[in-house]
Amino acid sequence: MDLTYTPEEEEFRARLRQWLGKALPTLPAKPSPDDWPGRRAYDLGWQRMLDDAGYAGVHWDASPTTRLIFLEETERAGAPYVGANFVGLLHAGPTIAAEGTAEQRARWLPPILRGEEVWCQGFSEPDAGSDLAALRTRACRDGDDYVVSGSKIWTSHAEVADWCELLVRTDPSAPKHRGITWLAMPMDAPGVTVRPLRTLAGSAEFAEVFLDEVRVPVANRVGEENDGWRVTMVTLSFERGTAFVGEVVACRRVLGELARTARENGRWDDPVVRRRLGRLNAEFRALWRLTQWNVSEAEANRGVPGVGGSVFKLRYSHARQELYDTAAGVLGPDCLDLDRPWTLDRLSSLSYTIAAGTSQIQRTIVAERILGLPKGR
Ligand SMILES: Cc1cc2nc3c(=O)[nH]c(=O)nc-3n(C[C@H](O)[C@H](O)[C@H](O)COP(=O)(O)OP(=O)(O)OC[C@H]3O[C@@H](n4cnc5c(N)ncnc54)[C@H](O)[C@@H]3O)c2cc1C
């Protein structure tokens, strides 16, 4: 791929930079991590500002290079992250764009872009995480509806979501990968109960979701009945391949700040700290190049990223943990202070090697699908 910028791309960058300079000072104060209604309003408000300015669809419609410029510039300017819009913008929406019907795209995509509706992901269950195809939430057809019963766990943003990308078992007699269906479930449907789970960092980022005879219209099925595993692979390829891309830019900024802090507080004199910072710099530069490659490869495949997403997810999640461990080394005892920058990020970085598929699972995917090693049991 060509990594140089065209005059049009440079113009896009300049226009965006100018708009960010004007727009960011008008943002309200950031809500506290526990204020979910406030977080939802803040994240949707930012999405609406992007939509009004013509930037909302950049993750979906723009060329890979333009998308990467958008991420670089928004991060450089300190713009808000996608937040509660993570699932809708970065994997449910792209899945519907790739796999949904024209009616489904018209119903669900514009409200995501306009910052009107939040999505969550109902994939994992208490006994179906790494082995996602073991999921048991059952959906039985009844006229024009599926009647869904079961439970989901670790559902991020469930408390404030309007819709859930939900995996259900529609044919219990089929081999486990073949009896699954992908549904869009309204979170306000009768029978949906959300019970928040508190994390180590103190806030309730995710929840258990209990489903008791929830009626979901058949028209909300994305893909064919029992073809949900294939649709799930599309969702996961977006989640692993491109959803974390913006965070790589953020990590590169943190790395720069860490080096500055180390120079100021004397930790720079420690060769171990310098070596770790240098290695991380190389790692994040490599990850950025891998990102560019993945995004560009996706472009040739209906926008759907390939299995390279697992390489990215694996390396990125470990690099992120190492980054914040290094931050702790630079901060010294201050790293235990929850009000200091990077402390909460360090705690949450522990979840990155689990969320969106654990490192062990990514290694298996890389071994089998990229290196062509024999399949495990
Ligand atoms: C911050 C965060 C947010 C999340 N958000 C969501 C969400 O919004 N929606 C959602 O559906 N899920 C979400 N998840 C759940 C996540 O997808 C699962 O936690 C993950 O897939 C692992 O499943 P598990 O927790 O059941 O662990 P398990 O599958 O029980 O794994 C336990 C351990 O065994 C290892 N292991 C399991 N099987 C194998 C194997 N075959 N080979 C080698 N090692 C193996 C795993 O790597 C892991 O170390 C989230 C998780 C986190 C941490």
Q: 178-230: per-residue pLDDT in tens?
A: 999 999 999 999 999 999 998 877 778 899 999 999 999 999 999 999 999 99
Q: 189 and 122 in contact (C-beta within 8 Å)?
A: no
Q: How far apart are CA 96 and CA 222, in angstroms?
A: 7
| All CATH 2.40.110.10 domain ranges in the chain, comma separated | 119-226
Kindly state the average pLDDT of the residues 72-81. Answer: 91
Residues composing the chain = 377
In angstroms, what is the C-alpha Rg of the chain?
21
CA distance 363 to 231: 22
Q: Whose CA is nearest to atom 52 of ligand 1?
A: 355
User: In the chain, what percentage of residues exceed pLDDT 70?
Assistant: 99
Collapse the DSSP code of 152 into the 3-class scheme (helix H, G, I; strand E, B; otherwise coil) and give the result.
strand
CA of residue 359 to ligand 1 center, whole Å? 9
Q: Which residue has the least CA distance to atom 7 on ligand 1?
A: 155
Cα separation, 14 vs 3, in Å, equals 18
Within 8 A by CB and 6+ apart from 348, the residues are 199, 201
Range(s) for CATH 1.10.540 in the chain? 7-113
Q: How far is the CA of 257 from the centre of ligand 1 (A)?
A: 32
Structure confidence at residue 259 as a pLDDT band (50, 70, 90): very high
Q: Is the Cβ–Cβ distance between 370 and 307 less than 8 Å?
A: yes
Give me the amino acid identity at 60. W
Class of domain 119-226: mainly beta
Probe ligand 1: pick from 349, 354, 368, max atoms within 8 Å of CB?
A: 354
User: What stretch(es) of the chain map to CATH 1.20.140.10?
Assistant: 244-370
Query: Would you say residue 1 has pLDDT above 60?
Result: no
Task: Please give the distance, rounded to the nearest whole angstrom, from the Cα atom of residue 351 to the centre of ligand 1.
Answer: 10
**Residue numbers annotated as active site:** 239
- What tokens does 316 get? 């990125």
Integer Cα distance of 139 and 353 in angstroms: 31
Q: Hey, what are 337's tokens?
A: 């202070």
Mean pLDDT, range 123-149, rounded to an integer: 97
Within 8 A by CB and 6+ apart from 24, the residues are 77, 78, 79
Residue 156 Cα to ligand 1 midpoint, Å, equals 13
Nearest in space to 130 (alpha carbons), one of 371, 367, 365, 366: 365
Q: Which atom of ligand 1 is nearest to the CA of 123?
A: 11
User: Is 7-113 a domain of CATH 1.20.120?
Assistant: no
Strand partners, 139: 148
Task: Indicate the pLDDT class of residue 335, thresholds 50, 70 and 90.
Answer: confident
pLDDT at 60: 84
Rounded Cα gap, residues 375 and 309, in angstroms? 19
Number of CB atoms found within 10 A of residue 141's CB: 12
Q: Establish whether residue 156 lines the binding site of ligand 1, counting it when its CB lies within 6 angstroms of any ligand atom.
A: yes
The CATH homologous superfamily to which domain 244-370 belongs is Butyryl-CoA Dehydrogenase, subunit A, domain 3 (1.20.140.10)
